[in-house]
């Protein structure tokens, strides 16, 4: 076995993240993580007080990976569509992490329009810069974003269970139709009566 002093916090986190990414959150344990590192379980407890703390760090890392993937997705002229497709790709490419974040019950995602992160505020700025979107109030943009997020999550659940359920063209059409529908709905709500 290698000397335990060669094992640092990042090495433990990488080993545990790799394990969960490959085999799922149900395989996360001190023993399994130590086996990944080829060491005893003691070094893990030098950096994490318990497995729940390590799990929370894995959740954060999973969110970061998901965000990186969907923010780097590309679509010709529609970055918002690209992000939706990137999220759907994450559900297919990273099924164990998608399960951890959205199906395991260990994490409570917030799809409401009231709680927005800095990243979501940037998305709203990007949305408001889109063609025909500048006239919407911030509240309407939040509602559109929330509704599209919920719809996209539903598609992601379908793809998680059946990655071949839709073609790329079908997904693009579904996301585009949903965006148009939610936008038109908000537009009718903002019209003077």
Instruction: List average pLDDT for each run of 10 residues in the chain, which is 193 residues long.
Output: 70 97 97 96 93 95 88 66 89 96 82 60 77 85 90 96 97 94 88 64
pLDDT of 166 reads 98
| 88, burial (CB in 10 Å: exposed 0-12, middle 13-18, buried 19+) | buried
pLDDT of 113 reads 47
| 87, burial (CB in 10 Å: exposed 0-12, middle 13-18, buried 19+) | buried
CATH of the domain at 11: 1.10.10
pLDDT of 129 reads 76
CA distance 106 to 100: 7
CA distance 99 to 103: 5
Based on the fold, state whether residues 73 and 37 are members of the same structural domain: no
Query: Which is nearest to 48 in space by CA: 65, 61, 32, 30?
Result: 30
Buried b / exposed e over 8-25, threshold 16 CB at 10 Å, is eeeebbebbbebbbeeeb
Based on the fold, state whether residues 71 and 151 are members of the same structural domain: yes
Based on the fold, state whether residues 107 and 142 are members of the same structural domain: yes
pLDDT of 32 reads 97
Residue 56 within any structural domain of the chain: no
Based on the fold, state whether residues 79 and 30 are members of the same structural domain: no
3-state SS class at 13? helix
- C-beta separation of 70 from 86 below 8 A: yes
Based on the fold, state whether residues 25 and 68 are members of the same structural domain: no
Tokens of 120: 């979501």
Based on the fold, state whether residues 86 and 169 are members of the same structural domain: yes
pLDDT of 133 reads 82
Based on the fold, state whether residues 117 and 172 are members of the same structural domain: yes
User: What total number of domains does the chain contain?
Assistant: 2
| Domain extent at residue 11 | 1-48
pLDDT tens per residue across span 24-77: 999 999 999 999 999 999 989 999 999 999 999 999 999 999 988 877 765 556
Q: Which residue has the tokens 């007080």?
A: 49
pLDDT of 26 reads 96
Backbone angles phi, psi at 103, to 5 degrees: -125, -15
CA distance 189 to 182: 11
pLDDT of 75 reads 52
pLDDT of 191 reads 67
Based on the fold, state whether residues 119 and 86 are members of the same structural domain: yes
Q: For the residues of 19-70, what is the DSSP string, one character each?
A: HHHHH-GGG--HHHHHHHHTS-SHHHHHH-SSHHHHHHHHHHHHHHHHHHHH
Residue 55 within any structural domain of the chain: no
Based on the fold, state whether residues 84 and 11 are members of the same structural domain: no
């Amino acid at each position: 076995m290698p000397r335990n002093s060669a094992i640092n916090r990042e090495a433990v986190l990488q080993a545990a993240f790799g394990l969960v990414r490959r085999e799922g959150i149900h395989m996360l344990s001190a023993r399994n993580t130590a086996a990944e590192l080829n060491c005893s379980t003691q070094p893990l407890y030098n950096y994490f007080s318990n497995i729940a703390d390590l799990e929370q760090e894995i959740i954060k890392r999973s969110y970061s990976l998901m965000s990186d993937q969907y923010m780097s997705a590309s679509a010709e002229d529609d970055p918002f569509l690209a992000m939706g497709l990137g999220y759907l790709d994450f559900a297919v490419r990273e099924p164990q992490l998608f399960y951890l974040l959205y199906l395991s019950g260990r994490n409570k995602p917030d799809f409401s329009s009231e709680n927005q992160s800095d990243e979501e505020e940037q998305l709203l700025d990007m949305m408001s810069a889109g063609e025909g979107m500048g006239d919407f109030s911030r509240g309407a943009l939040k509602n559109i974003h929330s509704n599209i997020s919920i719809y996209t999550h539903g598609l992601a659940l379908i793809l998680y269970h059946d990655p071949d359920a839709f073609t790329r063209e079908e997904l693009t059409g579904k996301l585009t139709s949903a965006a148009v529908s939610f936008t038109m709905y908000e537009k009718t709500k903002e019209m003077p009566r």
